[in-house]
Chain A
């Protein structure tokens, strides 16, 4: 029984199986016929259409560069913008003899060899069928000249482009920076698709620090072109997205006042709004016009800038390092109070020099005959060196280092610019590592008056001053307050919220001394007090460039480059601080006479809105 069942099952199974094979065969045949039908459609019906597409070829996808974001100051004045201009561009693939073409263009438009060399460099970073710029921003005359000769230059054409322009030129070059042609090295680090249609990128300043935000997003077009590469039909287009517009914290009125006040000197001025960390003025003097850099500065002009004795391209505010001199004294004084090694009222006697026990060497005071009995307030007001020699020695280098470090001496401030210098705040460890020597008492003593190894940048000084004025709430200077993207807005960097623990009484004592620097008869910058309704707290500083030998007195007619650097730190109004300003004037002589009036002009203009003429110029 069961065996017949099995046989019948097998027969059924076989029958079903053969049926399935037939079904698959039919399916295969039908589907393959489908493929054939489609091939017939493409290769017979559509043949002509596709043959034309293949011959004319082809579909070219080209990038549309985004518009670079505009940069404004805090009052909405344009600091960096894009101006429509004409460029002369070459598509190497379409030029038979490139060198010949370049040579003829050189004759026609009177081009320098620099321009041709730059083009040869740029050519390497583009594909053969890309358009490579030879000249950016043609003059009208050049446009006219080329337009006439255009038929003789196949593959060369004039394009409308946007060129970066800095309306304030010399005033902003050390803050806003500038853009320049992208070189091969930079190209490696940039996203290729985003930059394939872009000629520029930020080289320094805000333009570099915020390159990613300013650049925007590239769009593209998909274009059908003929064999000569001329576009016939736009198949698809995706619009680029413009870069973010940046609002800076900078106030161009203050910036100009600050810049003008440094006239005749090499130096730097940094002004910070205390509560926000907003940088109001950021000046390095002298400066240079950033606009020639946009389209490639000529090597002659570049060399002139580089060889200039005043180093206009050197960003002193950000990268210049100077001994802080006496401007460090309020901080050292505060360190003494906080560490309880002094009290505000206790006086010491200043004979005009300081000596270590059993050592003949005398550490001089700037006042040859001394200041007599001096307490902390007097010491700050009159900038008594002996008081701080003694205090530094009592404190010791380690405590002094640790306290000053909290104010950011010898540290990057974190300002939103690239290339900031660290500087030096010496300690025993530092000397061992950097100088391979051990720390001696003399090192401690001169560190107490901001000489010796200490090196700070003007922006560091400004930050420390602002932090002191902010009663220990650490201020980080920032330049960008807002980024306006196409679809949304972002705020600039925010304050860290760090606080240095300080006694209110100690702060008051130190600030009282700083107020007396300006508002007392014996203050080192007492001229500033004339004609102002508010109180300024400040401290002058004079940093030695040239060390005066023992038993030698300072020669007033010393070579200009060896004269002392003049420094001044300040904030105002003293009872409700709003602005902090630090000034460094190279070889400026005395801080009180040279540097302090510069800061005062900026402070007065910020607080009263009056232009500098209203400020009484001392002496």
Chain B
């Protein structure tokens, strides 16, 4: 208590600073996130064809998400560490429950109907998986023996496979990358990383030769969307037209024709970046990417300053996961990655991922604001 009190004095002197310190909020991160959310309204107004109810719903979600973030920021990382195993186990149980009794929603089993609201366990597992792996690796510092390494991988693979089975490829990728990021930050040796990469690359042709023709076709379609012009390939063709026609400065706010004329599907959700690029051009895109970079680097800074192994690993993993989120969505919209259902973080219309994302920022803020002062 004493130490914490002193650190407050040490770090911020202004009144506002002190208030935010009390709220356990990180000012730079908050500012960047706020700016992105503001952009979300601007572009959603256009993408939804100026539909006010859509904006109202999005506002409600953002409000809820910020509340959740603030609440989590107050939870001491030490507490998070203590509950890691419990929360992770609960998450896995819920995933199994979803597979067993889950309601079929949009053709995939992702929801669990709790009567009063529908809950998506895969969202929760996005955070609890890195928490669990961080907890395990904080208990067993590197270098790990083979058994420990296998356990760590099992902790990552279990939720990943359960989600992939739903099937929700996008979320599975995010969970796996968040988990692997923990291993990476913990110091998984470069040699191991390069051997694994080489092994996977070496196994590819073998795997390819073992696949059925129709499975190969599916993979090829995934990487060459133009081959499926009636399905997802159609999205990519239209999305590229939208982005390319935007040029350097864009067609101006509300100037998107691709989205307006319904040529671009899912323009408010997964493909909202295409609308943004069409209206604000390359200049706007660079601005947005810089904002995202600022968020990522601020998170990495928090990671660097974190004081205990658990906080460090968790912060690093959550930062990296956010980056993967951004990269996968934009990569798919601009046609360099296969189309998987991942929204553009903080901008796409839709509530479930918003809350999870903000929760992870809440954890990062908690890590940043619960630091104990250590004199140099």
Contacts and interface: CB of A to CB of B under 8 A. Distances in A.
B282 A24 contact: no
Contact of A16 (B187, B240, B281): B187
A236 interface: yes
A449 interface: no
A38 B323 contact: no
Interface in A51-65: 51, 53-55, 57-59, 61
A40 to B, nearest CB: 7
A546 interface: no
Interface string B313-350: 00010011001000100110011100000000000000
A43 to B, nearest CB: 4
Contacts of B351: none
A51 B187 contact: no
B261 A13 contact: no
Interface in B240-292: 240-248, 257-258, 261, 263, 277, 281-282, 285-286, 289, 292
Contacts of A38: 334-336
Contacts, number: 125
> What are the nearest 5 A-B pairs in CB distance?
A50-B244, A54-B245, A43-B282, A42-B244, A16-B187
A618 interface: no
Interface in A28-68: 28-29, 31-32, 34-36, 38-40, 42-44, 46-47, 49-51, 53-55, 57-59, 61
Interface stretch (B17-25, B62-70, B293-301): B293-301
A236 B229 contact: yes
A491 interface: no
Given A31-B323, A32-B289, 5 more contacts: A17-B185, A17-B312, A28-B296, A47-B246, A59-B234
B277 A54 contact: no
A109 interface: no
Contacts of A58: 241, 261, 263
B187 A17 contact: yes
Contacts of B187: 13, 16-17, 20
A32 B336 CA distance: 12
A25 interface: yes
Contacts of A190: none
Contacts of B181: 24
B56 to A, nearest CB: 31
B289 A44 contact: no
A13 B244 contact: no
A40 B336 CA distance: 13
A51 B247 contact: yes
Contacts of A32: 289, 292-293, 327
Contacts of B240: 42, 46, 50
A53 B258 CA distance: 10
Nearest to A61: B230
B331 to A, nearest CB: 7
A43 B304 contact: no
A222 interface: yes
A298 B229 CA distance: 43
A50 B245 contact: yes
Contacts of A47: 244-248
Interface in A439-459: none
B229 A31 contact: no
Contact of B281 (A18, A23, A43, A235): A43
Interface in B164-196: 181, 184-185, 187
Contacts of B335: 38
Contacts of B142: 13, 16
Interface of B is mostly: helix
A57 B263 contact: yes
Contacts of B238: 59
A42 B243 contact: yes
A13 B334 contact: no
A35 B289 contact: yes
B239 to A, nearest CB: 10
Interface of B: 141-142, 181, 184-185, 187, 229-230, 234, 237-238, 240-248, 257-258, 261, 263, 277, 281-282, 285-286, 289, 292-293, 296-297, 300, 303-304, 309, 312, 316, 319-320, 323, 327, 330-331, 334-336
Given A17-B185, A17-B187, A9 B263 contact: no
Contacts of A34: 336
A39 B243 contact: yes
A46 B303 contact: no
Given A44-B247, A50-B240, A51-B245, A39 B323 contact: no
Interface centre among A40, A42, A58, A61 (most CB of B within 10 A): A42
Contacts of B304: 17-18, 21
Contacts of B257: 54, 57
Contacts of A51: 244-245, 247
Given A20-B184, A50-B243, A59 B285 contact: no
A213 B185 CA distance: 62
A200 interface: no
Interface string A325-343: 0000000000000000000
B330 A40 contact: no
A197 to B, nearest CB: 15
8 contacts: A18-B304, A20-B187, A24-B323, A28-B296, A42-B243, A43-B243, A59-B234, A236-B229
Contacts of B330: 35
A199 interface: no
Contacts of A366: none
A122 B237 CA distance: 32
B141 A25 contact: no
Contacts of B237: 59
A49 B229 contact: no
Contact of A36 (B184, B247, B286): B286
Contacts of B229: 59, 61, 222, 235-236
B363 to A, nearest CB: 17
A35 B300 contact: no
Nearest to A235: B229
Interface string A296-323: 0000000000000000000000000000
Contacts of B292: 32
A390 B229 CA distance: 77
Contact of B244 (A49, A222, A236): A49
A24 B296 CA distance: 10
B194 to A, nearest CB: 13
A485 interface: no
Contacts of B336: 34-35, 38
Given A20-B184, A20-B187, A222-B229, A39 B282 contact: yes
A208 B234 CA distance: 35
Contact of A43 (B184, B230, B277, B293): B277
A220 interface: yes
A24 B316 CA distance: 9
Contacts of B277: 39, 42-43
Contacts of B246: 43, 47
A39 B330 CA distance: 10
Contacts of B320: 24
A192 to B, nearest CB: 14
Given A16-B187, A21-B303, A57-B263, A44 B248 contact: yes
